Amino acid sequence: MRMWIWVAALLPAMVYGQPVRQGPAWWESPWWNSPLVQNLELRDAQRKEIRTTVREYRGHLMDLREAVQRADGDLEIALGESTPDQRKANEAIEHLASARAELTRTISQMTLRLRTILTNEQWQELQKRQAERRLELPGGRKGPGGRIGSGPAATQQR
C-alpha cells in the first residue's frame, strides 16, 4: 500500500518534471520548414512556390508513408509466426521494398522540384548548412538518411 502511495505521489512529479519539447528537433523537420532556410534570402514568390509544391505532394506522401507502415507490419507478422511461411514472408518483403521504393521516388521527385525553385547559390548555402548541422547531432549521428530531403521526417508537414 505504501508503495502505491509513493508511486501516486511521484508519478506526476516525474511526468511534469520532464522537459517539454517545443515541436520537432531541427533534424526532424523538412528543410523547407527548418531554421536552415532562415536568411537564405528566399523571395516571397519562392516561398509561395515551395508551399504550393509541398501541398501538392502532401496527400500522396502521407498515403505512401502509411503503405510503408502497413507493409512493415505485414512483414513483422509474417516473421513472427512460429513457423514462417516462406512464400508469405517473401511476398511481404517484396511489398515492403516496393512501398519504400515508391516513397523514396516520390520524395526525390518533390525534392528535385523544390531544388528548381532555389537559385544555385541558395541551394549551395542550404547544402553547406545541412552538412554543418549534421555534425552537431547528439552523439555525432547523422540526420535521417544523412542528406537533405531524406528520411520519413522529410515528408512531414507542420
In this structure, is residue 21 part of a structural domain? no
In this structure, is residue 39 part of a structural domain? no
In this predicted model, what pLDDT tens digit does every residue of 90-107 receive, in sequence order?
Answer: 999 999 999 999 999 999
Q: Do residues 107 and 155 lie in contact, with contact meaning Cβ atoms separated by under 8 Å?
A: yes
CA proximity to 123, closest of 138, 113, 134: 113
In this structure, is residue 112 part of a structural domain? yes
Tell me how many degrees the CA angle 64-68-69 measures, rounded to the nearest 5. 115
For position 116, which CATH number holds?
1.20.120
In this structure, is residue 129 part of a structural domain? yes
The string of DSSP codes covering 33-55 is: GSGGGTTS---HHHHHHHHHHHH
Please give the tally of structural domains in the chain.
1
In this structure, is residue 19 part of a structural domain? no
In this predicted model, what pLDDT tens digit does every residue of 6-61 receive, in sequence order?
Answer: 333 433 333 334 444 444 443 445 666 666 677 788 898 998 999 899 999 999 99
Alpha helix segments (H runs only) across the chain: 2-17, 44-80, 86-117, 120-135
In this structure, is residue 2 part of a structural domain? no
As a whole number of angstroms, the distance between CA 158 and CA 155 comes to 10
In this structure, is residue 115 part of a structural domain? yes
Instruction: Kindly report the pTM of this predicted structure.
Output: 0.64
In this structure, is residue 102 part of a structural domain? yes
Q: Which domain holds residue 106?
A: 44-134+150-158
